[in-house]
Amino acid sequence: MSENTFMGVPRDKIDWAPVIDYGKCNYCMDCVKFCPHQVFEVRENEEKRLIVKNPNNCVVFCRACSKTCGLDALSFPNKSDTTKRIKEIRKEMEGSE
């Protein structure tokens, strides 16, 4: 079992992380300051000064950073699709044991 799991599923198999809308983001970095999991990274000298560096650090189902975003520039995958996918992976894992 991988070290980082969610509900018994290896974290890297679950697609759950914020997506930055660069058309809206004004690089206020409130999300960076808020997230304790180092999901984001600031890139001082690049055009995109903020990136999602560690998507697998993001807590599955947490959308708290998007609620700190005044510009509504962060979005997340659909929760019920994600739940469905986790259940499928769990079934596959049971089958292969």
Partner 1 sequence: MSKEYAILPCNGLDKLAGYVTREIALRLAEETGSEIICPTFYRVSDARYNKVASEKPLLVIDGCGTRCAGKLAAEKGLKITEKINVTDESKKFGIKIGSGLRMGEDEFKLAEMIASDLLREDAIPPAGQDSKSAVIMPESLEYEIYQKDKFIFRLPKAGFYFNENDCWAYVSGNKARIGVTDYVQKSLSDIMFFTPPEVGSEIEQFGEAGSIESGKAVFEIICPVSGVVTAVNEKLLDYPEYINDNPYEQGWIAELELTNFESDKEMLLQFEDYFKIMKKKVDEYHV
Residues of this chain that bind partner 1 (CB under 8 A): 6-7, 30, 34, 36-37, 59-64, 66-72, 79-80, 82-83, 86-87, 90
Min dist CB 87 to partner 1, Å, is: 7
Min dist CB 45 to partner 1, Å, is: 26
Residue 52 host element (H or E):
strand 50-52
φ, ψ of residue 52 to 5 degrees: the values are -85, 100
**Separation CA 13–CA 82 (nearest Å):** 11
Residue 1, token pair as written in the block: 């079992």
CA distances from 68 to 23, 63, 89 (A): 17, 9, 31
Min dist CB 75 to partner 1, Å, is: 12
Choice between 53 and 90, CB closer to partner 1: 90
Min dist CB 57 to partner 1, Å, is: 11
Amino acid, single-letter form, for residue 72: D
Choice between 36 and 47, CB closer to partner 1: 36
